[in-house]
Amino acid sequence: MSVRIAAPDDAESVLRIYAPIVEGTVVSFELEVPTVDEMRRRIATTLERFPWLVSIDAEGSVDGYVYAGLHRERAAYQWSVDVTAYVREDARGRGIRKRLYARLFDELVRLGYHQAFAGIALPNAASVGLHESVGFTHLGVYRDVGFKLGAWHDVGWWQRTLRPPTPPRPPLAFDRR
C-alpha cells in the first residue's frame, strides 16, 4: 500500500468508495450521493487548508481515503480538526484506515493542529474500535441527532490529542507538494 496526497482527479475513485456508504448506511448522514463534480470540488476545497490522503492498492487503484476538516467556525477552534476515513468494501480489515490515520496525524502535527475529533453514527463497533485503537477517547453522545433510513440515530464523539498543549501559533496551510 502506498499513500499520497489526493487530487481532484481522484473524485471518481473516492465516490466509488463513498456512494454505497451514503446509499445504504447511516455511517454518513448525507442523504444523496454527491456528483463527481461535487466530490472534485470537495477535494480541491479541502486541500486549500487541510490534508486529504488516498491509499493506493497493488493494482494502482484508490482503496481508501482520509481527510481533515474544520472542527468549528470560531477562531479559537482553529487548532482543532474533524477527521474521517473510508475504505473500499473489498479492502476492509487490512489496516488501511490505521495507516491512513497515522499519516494524517503526522501531517496534522506538522501543520500545528492540537486536537482531532471524530463523529461516529451509533452503533458502529468497527469504527469505535478503529478510532480507539489509534488513540481516540470517547467524549459523549448526541442522541437522536440525525434522521436517515427511516429512523433517528445517535452520534458518538471521540477525541485524540495530536500534540501536547503549547503556546499556539496559527496552523500552517497544507502544502500539496
147 φψ region: left (φ > 0), alpha (ψ -120 to 50), beta (else): beta
Q: Is the pTM of this model over 0.85?
A: yes
**What is the spatial distance between Cα 132 and Cα 135, in angstroms, rounded to a whole number?**
5
Per-residue pLDDT tens digits for 56-104:
999 999 999 999 999 999 988 999 999 999 999 888 889 899 999 999 9
Domain ranges of the chain: 2-161
Helix, strand, coil percentages, rounded to 5, for the chain:
35, 30, 35
The class (CATH top level) of 2-161 is: alpha beta
